[in-house]
A and B are shown apart, each in its own frame.
Chain A
């Protein structure tokens, strides 16, 4: 190779190598930025059995049964249908109210046809029959009633109960029967905003 050829190659190789280095540097910065700016925030915990609301026992028709066994038989009613299980709902709610106190002051339980289906539940007004929200306020348990305001229900469950991260969600399947139950039993996360 002659001297002019060598000089020409040096003149092109050096700027290109500098460019490659700059591009690599930009790449490293971008990749670091991706993990710093948008870290994974979908964490959730699996509730152990003894802490599960569904495995607490209540009096039901003269027997001690799991909360799960009662809510399992609740029908997900059509929003246009009046309560077909109001009596049962009131009885279960009364039993659940006995669980809340100063330490375990928030309790929520609902049954849906879709996974994490609170939006679906609220959107279709299913919540009246299959949603239980109880809180220990001013030394006594109080249940949330008149769930007419879907946004309020959503906000309370999210801000005060930490839905969906704090909730235990399970899937039930038996033949064609398939549904999801979500529950939370513990201390309130924080005071609901704008309540």
Chain B
């Protein structure tokens, strides 16, 4: 019998066994890392959603509060702007990105069309960090109101 003819066949078996072992090992150990990663990513997204929602609700609250203070004032727009900036300064917290800072630094626009005002704040962002991961979300805020109330 030709003994050298056996070598490739034996190698085929050995290689198959090694490949099967490696792939099975990688399948079996893959899940653990994902679970840990998932916990961090969940916290990251959860925090970011909370920050954005906090900013959106605060934006509307601040406009409503400023409206109340500006009502009946001789120069409504000036009184509204001053009140808005004061409230933003009181509530300022860098955890919520640049929203409060933008208001304090007058980086917003109020347009008047007829009796309706449109307040716009552009390029607002919130940012969430967990370990080495970071998510930044940019969005614009806009709200319509008249001298009495916010218009939905």
The number of chain A residues with a CB under 8 A from chain B is 41
Contact A168 B46 (CB under 8 A): yes
Task: Please tell me if B112 contacts chain A, counting CB pairs below 8 Å.
Answer: no
The minimal Cβ–Cβ distance linking B19 to chain A, given in whole angstroms, is: 9
Contact B50 A49 (CB under 8 A): yes
Task: Please tell me if A4 contacts chain B, counting CB pairs below 8 Å.
Answer: yes
Given A5-B5, A40-B35: A48 in contact with B13 (beta carbons within 8 A) = no
Residues 64-77 of A, flagged 1 when their CB comes within 8 A of B and 0 if not, give 00101000000000
Q: How large is the interface on B (under 10, 10 to 19, 20 to 34, 35 or more residues)?
A: 35 or more
Contact B46 A49 (CB under 8 A): no
Contact A47 B46 (CB under 8 A): yes
The minimal Cβ–Cβ distance linking B52 to chain A, given in whole angstroms, is: 7
Task: Please tell me if A82 contacts chain B, counting CB pairs below 8 Å.
Answer: no
Could you list which residues of chain A lie within 8 angstroms of chain B, going by C-beta atoms?
1, 4-5, 8-9, 12-13, 16, 19-20, 23-24, 26-27, 30-31, 34, 38, 40, 42, 44, 46-50, 52, 54-55, 66, 68, 115-116, 168-174, 180
Contact A173 B57 (CB under 8 A): no
Q: Which of B22-30, B102-110, B136-144 is the contact stretch?
A: B22-30
CA distance A157 to B13 in the complex (A): 54
Chain B residues, CB < 8 A from A49: 49-50, 52-54, 56-57
Chain A residues, CB < 8 A from B54: 49, 55, 66, 68
Task: Please tell me if B151 contacts chain A, counting CB pairs below 8 Å.
Answer: no
Residues 54-92 of B, flagged 1 when their CB comes within 8 A of A and 0 if not, give 101100000000000000000000000000000000000
The minimal Cβ–Cβ distance linking A73 to chain B, given in whole angstroms, is: 12
Interface centre among B9, B35, B52, B56 (most CB of A within 10 A): B9
Given A30-B24, A46-B45, A116-B39: A20 in contact with B95 (beta carbons within 8 A) = no
Which residue from chain A places its CB closest to the CB of B50 in the assembled complex? A170
Contact B43 A115 (CB under 8 A): yes
Given A8-B5, A38-B31, A55-B57: A23 in contact with B20 (beta carbons within 8 A) = yes
Tell me the residues in window 5-26 of chain B with beta carbons closer than 8 Å to chain A beta carbons: 5-6, 9-10, 12-13, 16-17, 20, 23-24
